[in-house]
A and B are shown apart, each in its own frame.
Chain A
Amino acid sequence: MDWHRGQRMKEGMSNNSTTSISQARKAVEQLKMEACMDRVKVSQAAADLLAYCEAHVREDPLIIPVPASENPFREKKFFCTIL
């Protein structure tokens, strides 16, 4: 996002030594926590994503279009208010 880059902090600032020790400790703690996570195999995760899609695709109006009369954006109705 270059249009507000003037206000951005530089990534390199985190290498300054003053608060580095507490930051480094936090990083190590965070990584230890993330390492303990229970993970699933990609095949299982992918199968679940597929299952969700298949279960809901019939209700997805952008894939299975509903009749034009039911989609307020597709129907050629003129919205007018009587003033």
Chain B
Amino acid sequence: MCDQTFLVNVFGSCDKCFKQRALRPVFKKSQQLSYCSMCAEIMATDGLHENQTLASLKSEAESLKGKLEEERAKLHDVELHQVAERVEALGQFVMKTRRTLKGHGNKVLCMDWCKDKRRIVSSSQDGKVIVWDSFTTNKEHAVTMPCTWVMACAYAPSGCAIACGGLDNKCSVYPLTFDKNENMAAKKKSVAMHTNYLSACSFTNSDMQILTASGDGTCALWDVESGQLLQSFHGHGADVLCLDLAPSETGNTFVSGGCDKKAMVWDMRSGQCVQAFETHESDINSVRYYPSGDAFASGSDDATCRLYDLRADREVAIYSKESIIFGASSVDFSLSGRLLFAGYNDYTINVWDVLKGSRVSILFGHENRVSTLRVSPDGTAFCSGSWDHTLRVWA
């Protein structure tokens, strides 16, 4: 079973036995109650019919899965690339490295754009987190984390803070200040606490909340100011490696991908998983919503990227080639959603035509694995980070 994120910030009277205990939330007939751990265990076996055993529950789960597949298959009347045949083919692409950001002393693991379409934050294996001006390639801020392998970093929507974390199992927020007398590390605020490494983090629509994903198999939503856990998301059977928030117009959901080969879509308010997709053959390293919010793409160690439509509730495209045998580490869409950029462990970036399913371009330049890739907020460029210690901005 996955390690739990710390849920014990509620201590009070159990809704069942009324004793004063550490409480955890349980769902009984879709209603949320607070039970002590004893009553939660009893409830787990309560209400089981006479011949319901573990085996019968498992076979019920299998038959439900079978029925789900049948339902999904009924609606599979056509392939996306067939519908896309009437769409004009894309022309030749001329995309080159326009900027190279050098300065990290070790593998770049993660990066994020600021909403100002200019600044970039990146983090690396040696514990350094750097904020760059991508137009001039100057470094504006640098902070050294107390841990190595800073696998996640994110820019706050206001542009006034950054969040990062990794092997320290935490997500910390650093306010950005231009005052030369202030030490950035001094103002650090620890927000999230997991029981295993932090693999991904993202601010929600404001600077006030952060969503995190962890090697402990859970995702969690935190209040930045108080550090309080607002909601936790349990369901992955192994490390969660990535997450992405739905575009703001489409509501309060996010998608996560993990080492259990599953991509799961969550409702942020209830903590419930609303949809799950299990078609990849290996770890899912990266997930990204399609700009309309109706679909998402995933990149996996099985060397494929896939597109899942949320309303059809199924995988609708696979982006793969026999010649591509290395895992895809990160994916992102262009502004219109027509192009999918994917960084791979064979040092290349492949550009896919999302609708037709074909590769339109392959970009060379990095001298080691591409570990992270994001398109800029206005779509004019995209940035890739690599184990070769550099970041490249392509346009």
Contact = CB atoms under 8 A, between A and B. Distances in A.
Task: State whether these chains interact.
Answer: yes
Nearest to B241: A1
B336 interface: yes
B309 interface: yes
Interface residues of A, number: 57
B239 A8 contact: yes
A7 B339 contact: no
A8 B76 CA distance: 36
Nearest to A61: B380
A46 B57 CA distance: 36
B380 A31 contact: no
B1 A42 contact: no
A42 B316 contact: yes
A56 B335 contact: yes
Contacts of B319: none
A60 B149 contact: no
B51 to A, nearest CB: 14
A73 B77 CA distance: 43
B285 interface: yes
Interface string A47-59: 1111011111101
The A interface is mostly helix, strand or loop, or mixed, namely helix
A72 B119 CA distance: 13
Nearest to B334: A62
B83 A39 contact: no
Nearest to B75: A41
Size bracket, chain B contacts: 35 or more
A10 B57 CA distance: 22
Contacts of B57: 21, 24-25, 27-28
Contacts of A33: 272, 274
B65 to A, nearest CB: 6
* Most chain B CB neighbours (cut-off 10 Å) among A25, A52, A73: A73
B225 interface: no
B295 interface: yes
A7 B197 contact: yes
Contacts of B269: none
Given A42-B312, A49-B309, A53-B354, A35 B381 contact: no
B275 A49 contact: no
A62 B337 contact: no
Contacts of A45: 294-295, 309, 311-312, 316
Contacts of B292: 48-49, 52
Contacts of A19: 1, 44
Contacts of A59: 335-336, 379
Closest 7 CB pairs of A and B: A22-B44, A24-B57, A56-B336, A60-B336, A31-B64, A45-B312, A73-B395
Interface of B: 1-3, 41, 44-45, 48, 54, 57-58, 60-61, 64-65, 67-68, 71-72, 75-80, 83-84, 87, 90, 95, 98-99, 118, 134-136, 149, 151, 196-197, 215, 217, 235, 237-239, 241, 259-260, 272-276, 283, 285, 290-292, 294-295, 301, 309, 311-314, 316, 334-339, 354-355, 375, 378-382, 393, 395
Given A11-B259, A81-B136, 13 more contacts: A19-B1, A21-B54, A28-B61, A30-B235, A30-B273, A39-B75, A40-B75, A43-B78, A43-B83, A46-B316, A60-B334, A62-B382, A72-B135
